[in-house]
Structure 1
Amino acid sequence: MRTTLNAIESALRSSWDDDTTFASPEYLARGDGRASRGQCGPTALVVQELLGGDLVVADVEHAGRRNGVHYWNVTAAGVELDLTADQFTPDERLVDPRRVTGRRNVDSPGERAFGLLRDRVAAVLRRPAAPGSTSTRARPRVVCLCGSLRFPDQFTAERRRLTARGVVVLSPEDVEGELTPARRRDLGELHLRRIDLADEVRVVGARGAEGEATRREIAYARERGLVVSWSDFDG
């Protein structure tokens, strides 16, 4: 697909979550649930990688003191582009805007959020448009949940959270009847077919606590170049 600005913005917004934020807890808490809150740094880096140009940074002033910074883009043609400008509360303002100079610190803690967001956006933009579609927006991100169904409440919470962010969610389901070895094998293969349809695998559970079946699904996803992330609840 041709990468339009609408498609890039749509892919970014469907890819934001807590794992792609980079901001202090105080700053995030003040955002009143805004989806773009704390997403500016990783987002601006992804836009720069896709469109080129420079970064601009300004301090965020609140209650008479500076608390945090905000990043956005300036294209090579000099057009300012701020895809997270809607994150601010009415009592916040930007002060001292300046161009970012120097090399990016690839060892910064924010690199993990940037890398995850970059990979998610790339996966969404690679997906072909729906047959007959004339929309310039990217298709929604597709996430397949993996993990133990011993935690149904966590699966439900993750499905709801992702759906509210405009993500298509695929998930294993508990089935009735005896789980014979043959039936368990067939259900495992069915879930691999769900992974084939996804852009990302989201493991519902704590990192490092996966069972054999989930480890197999993670390996399968990685072999196919999918993003793998964790919900990291304490099971």
Structure 2
Amino acid sequence: MMLKKHKIEYTNYGEDVSKIKVITLCGSAKFMKEFKEVEANLSLKGIAVLSPIFFEQSKTSKITKEVAQLLGNMHFRKIELADEIFVMDVGGYIGESTRKEIAFAKSNNKNIRYYSAFISDSTCI
């Protein structure tokens, strides 16, 4: 991942942890690989990263409707806690749930950045 614009720089806040920027990642679970790469890269730049919880469902472990609702609500809370959101719009894809998260972030005056604005064909954020 190569940054195209709006480069995110490393920041060392020393002992003042209250100044550490918090970013919540939003997007489809089908981009789990990209989520992990971005989360690692942002964390190494001194940014606290909040990510969605991804579960792989199997025949023996299914997510109930109630649990899915709880996880969704928890993610909206992560958006509230963040200074901004980083939308994982890999290939330009933004699903319905992510659109709701973007709308929620806008209604809470959060800065919104998009993966597609940072990435070219290379690899490095």
What range describes the TM-score normalised by the shorter chain of this pair?
Answer: 0.7 to 0.9
Backbone CA RMSD of aligned residues: 2.6
4+ residue runs over 4 A deviation:
none
Write the letter of the residue equivalent to 1:166.
G
Contact 1:207 1:230 in 2 (8 A): no
Matching residue of 1:152? 32
Matching residue of 1:215? 99
Show structure 1 runs of 5+ residues with no match.
1-16, 22-34, 37-133
Contact 1:206 1:230 in 2 (8 A): no
- 1:179 deviation in Å? 2.6
1:195 aligns with 2:79: yes
Cα distance in 2 for residues equivalent to 1:208 and 1:189: 25
- 1:138 deviation in Å? 6.4
1:165 aligns with 2:45: yes
Q: How many residue pairs end up in the alignment?
A: 107
Cα distance in 1 for residues equivalent to 2:73 and 2:64: 14
Q: Whose strand fraction is larger, Structure 1's or Structure 2's? A: 1
Q: Which has the higher contact order (CA 8 A, sep 6+)?
A: 2
- TM-score by length of structure 1 reads 0.41
Report percent identity of matched pairs: 31
Matching residue of 2:68? 184
Cα distance in 1 for residues equivalent to 2:21 and 2:91: 22
What is the SS of the residue equivalent to 2:112? strand
- TM-score by length of structure 2 reads 0.73
Greater radius of gyration (CA):
1
Cα distance in 2 for residues equivalent to 1:158 and 1:213: 20
